[in-house]
Every structure is written in C-alpha cells, then in structure tokens.
Homo-oligomer: A and B are copies of this chain.
Amino acid sequence: MKAANLLGAHEMDVGGTRLPLAAVLDNLPWSAEGLIAAIAQQHDSGEVLMLAWMNRTALEETLLAGRVCYWSRSRQKLWRKGETSGATQHLIEARFDCDGDALLLRVDQNAGACHTGRSSCFYNAVLGDEIVILSNPGEAVP
C-alpha cells in the first residue's frame, strides 16, 4: 500500500519546507496509465507553450538531463522533445501542484514548441460562436 500523497500531506506547510524528491515521486497520484500532466511555459515571456504527459522515466530523465522528455500517448514511447525537429526545451525549473497530479515546466524553448511551427500550441481562440486561428504556421502566436 502506498503512503498518503506527500505533497497533499504537506500542503499547509510554510515556505522553505523541504521534502525528499524520491519519496514524493513514490507517492504521486500517477494516472491509471502511470502519467502526470505537464504544462510547458516559456520562462521569461510567460507564454504557455503546450500540454503533454510524462511517466516517471520521462520525468526523471528530464530532471537529470535538463532537456524535456515526455511520454507520447499516441506512440507509446518516450518523446525527447525536439529530437527530430530541433525544437528542444531546456528545463529551467519544474514545479508540482498542490495535489501532485500536474507539473509546470519552466523552459527555454528553442524554435516553435508546436509541431505546426507556431510558438505555442494554443492558437485556436474562441470568439463568440467561432474559433479563430491566431497565427500562420511557423509564426509566433500573439
């Protein structure tokens, strides 16, 4: 049996509290597929780039290598971001949320994060009863 989620158990602790990473990972509420959702954000501009998934192997590799590695749910394999496209993500800082089921990755993104070449995957804005595409492929999203 797993111990209680460590992050949840310490959510009311004061700033500066330290917890051992290995124990936190042992007790994360991984999804049924063994995954955690990971948001990538450009560290300086604050632009939210993409949402993807990590298993424990991908997360540990990311923390060790300082280069972001996801788990591809469609291909069911490790996805070293930018390995073929060159659009790598250098990890600046990783932060877990209060209940440990999401990660915020503050990164330095090389070239567009989206496979369409746009800076961010979030380029489909809702405007009334329509979706408006905010930028051309290959360009920055305003």
Contacts and interface: CB of A to CB of B under 8 A. Distances in A.
Contacts of A63: 126
**Protomer copies:** 2
A129 B25 CA distance: 11
A96 B131 contact: yes
A56 to B, nearest CB: 13
Contact of A133 (B15, B46, B101, B134): B15
B116 A95 contact: no
A122 interface: yes
Interface in A1-43: 7, 10-22, 24, 37, 39, 41
B94 A18 contact: no
A17 B133 contact: yes
A54 interface: no
Given A41-B48, A51-B37, A11 B132 contact: no
A139 B16 CA distance: 13
A101 B51 CA distance: 9
B46 A131 contact: no
B12 A51 contact: no
**The 4 residue pairs across chains A and B that have the minimum distance between CB atoms:** A46-B46, A97-B121, A51-B102, A96-B124
Given A21-B129, A22-B129, 4 more contacts: A39-B51, A95-B122, A95-B123, A97-B123
